[in-house]
Amino acid sequence: MRRAVCPGSYDPITNGHLDVIERASGLFDEVIVAVGINKNKRTLFTPDQRLAMIAQVSEEFGNVRADSYEGLLVDYCRAEQAPVIVKGIRAAGDFDYELQMAQMNHGLTGVETLFLPTSPRYSFLSSSLVKEVAAHGGPVDGLLPPIVHELLLERLAQG
């Protein structure tokens, strides 16, 4: 079975994330969308909320599941018998950072990294940018799956 991991914080999952996940699901038998848990990072949504959102919006692909991990991503990949990490690349800056991570991960455990360039319509998109625009009342509905958009607006209204 060809299994890959798409890691990220997914706080929240965007249409850009979903584009990469969908494309990866066509390349692998199983794709694990892995939410990295970093207790030092401030997030808007809890890990369980992010996992639920991911599960709901990726359900249609049939071979995608959501999970979380703490610690080193390569240890998680080894435990899940996933020899490939799939990363979406938006711009050259992403590539510079991700290449170093890919080389480190390969050096540690032999896990390969597949870079998928994002669709041009999502090349500017990040969860952080979406949260910032939404917090100031800007329109972000076309940047998120509809259910995620609703949950984001509800969460921001809670303060």
Active site residues: 17, 41, 90, 127
Eight-state DSSP code of residue 120:
G
CA–CA distance, 132 with 138 (Å, rounded to integer):
9
Sign of the torsion angle spanned by Cα atoms 89, 108, 1, 59: negative
Sign of the torsion angle spanned by Cα atoms 114, 142, 136, 51: negative
Q: How far is CA 61 from CA 9, 47, 93, in A?
A: 20, 21, 30
